[in-house]
Amino acid sequence: MTRSVKKRLGLMLCLIVMVFTVSGCGHKGRSNNDTIKIGVCVYDQYDTFLTQLINSFDAEVENDVLVEYVYASQNQSTQNDQVQSMIEKGVDVLCVNLVDRTAPTTIIDLARKNDVPIIFFNRELVEEDLMQWSKLYYVGADAYESGTLQGEIAAKECKKNMDKIDANGDGVIQYVVLEGEAGHQDSIVRTEYSVNTMIEKGVSVEKVGYAIANWNRSQAQTKMAQLIEKNGNEIELVLANNDDMALGAVDAYGAAGYPAERRPAIFGIDGTDIGLNAVADGTILGTVYNDKEGQAKAMYGIAVALAKGESVDGFGLTDGKYIRLPYTIVDSSNVDEFLK
């Protein structure tokens, strides 16, 4: 083989490897020796809030950083395999949104064995698990705060418009709760704190039903349709653990032929684009903004610092481990500030 043929073959091989690395694996950015590699593992690809959180994260990514995103279709053993394969590919740091927040040990063991730090996000593992290794962190928000704030908006609306919301005029608000996944910290805590806050604020309430709808709009529509079937006009208020389920409730009332003025007061949490628009047009009365941009920025900043072997002290981590971004109430009075 002549020298020029060898050189051309070498160049072709190099190009093939580059194409595989940059586009074949779904990576973002360029690959060279200085490139930071971040692996991001998400519990499911069909979750509205997480899709927007990941979009915000992606918007942070700079040119010399390569990010691979994988989705586990709600299966923890799939996610364990994805983590293993990311580590084998040589990621510097992992961001993990656990499928089962009570089962992080396989992932933690893999990461520790290979010295790859992990930033867990959104689905909060228990403190003992986060303490298993010094290079584990959590970025999210305070579930108690979201429940409390939802209860505050609901109580405020009830006081302002009691005549309208208390449709049967008995002085008590008959309500239902649409819950997220069973066992998820946000479902458990939001459900409890939103209702307790309404009571603390002096609203008399009576629970007439609840349903688990796994954060999902169409599941919420189906479950809400059953609740309407069973309770008819009795339901005066709906507390949904997130915006998608609040909108599922709206869909159910639409499908059941209820005109806007005969529907209950409906409240969500998240402030997703679709949730904010629903507040703006009055379809739902309020939501609680879950600061995806702040969470994405914190995750990205910490991930890059860890990948470079730098200190993360400047990020204001609580107990050296936690970042929790604050929630904010959104109703008709301030929704415009949140809409882009």
Q: 120 or 300: whose CB is closer to ligand GAL?
A: 120
The window from 24-32, 44-52, 230-238, 314-322 that contacts ligand GAL (CB under 6 A) reads: 44-52
Tell me if 42 sits within 8 A of 97, measured CB to CB.
Answer: yes
Minimum distance, C-beta of residue 136 to ligand GAL, in the bound complex (Å): 18
Q: Is 32 helix (H, G, I), strand (E, B) or coil?
A: coil
Minimum distance, C-beta of residue 180 to ligand GAL, in the bound complex (Å): 6
- Asked if 47 interacts with ligand GAL (CB under 6 A), we say yes
Figure out which of the listed residues 36, 42, 50, 110 binds ligand GAL, where binding follows CB under 6 A.
50
Long-range contacts (CB closer than 8 Å, 24 or more residues apart) made by 55-61: 56/292, 56/293, 56/295, 56/296, 56/297, 57/95, 57/296, 57/299, 57/300, 58/28, 59/296, 60/296, 60/297, 60/300, 60/301, 61/28, 61/29, 61/300
- Asked if 121 interacts with ligand GAL (CB under 6 A), we say no
- Asked if 120 interacts with ligand GAL (CB under 6 A), we say no
Minimum distance, C-beta of residue 43 to ligand GAL, in the bound complex (Å): 6
- Asked if 82 interacts with ligand GAL (CB under 6 A), we say no
Residues whose CB falls within 8 Å of the CB of residue 105, separated by 6 or more in sequence, listed in order? 129, 132
Q: 238 or 304: whose CB is closer to ligand GAL?
A: 238
Q: Residue 147, CB half-sphere, CA atoms under 13 Å: how many? A: 22
Residue 131 gets which letter from DSSP? T
The CA distance from 39 to 72, in Å, is: 13
- Asked if 123 interacts with ligand GAL (CB under 6 A), we say yes
Tell me if 329 sits within 8 A of 149, measured CB to CB.
Answer: yes
The window from 8-16, 47-55, 125-133, 156-164 that contacts ligand GAL (CB under 6 A) reads: 47-55
Figure out which of the listed residues 57, 137, 175, 215 binds ligand GAL, where binding follows CB under 6 A.
215
- Asked if 269 interacts with ligand GAL (CB under 6 A), we say yes
Q: 236 or 291: whose CB is closer to ligand GAL?
A: 291
Q: Between residue 285 and residue 324, which ones bind ligand GAL under the rule CB under 6 A? A: 290
Binding site for ligand GAL (CB under 6 A): 47, 49-50, 122-123, 180, 186, 215, 242, 269-270, 290
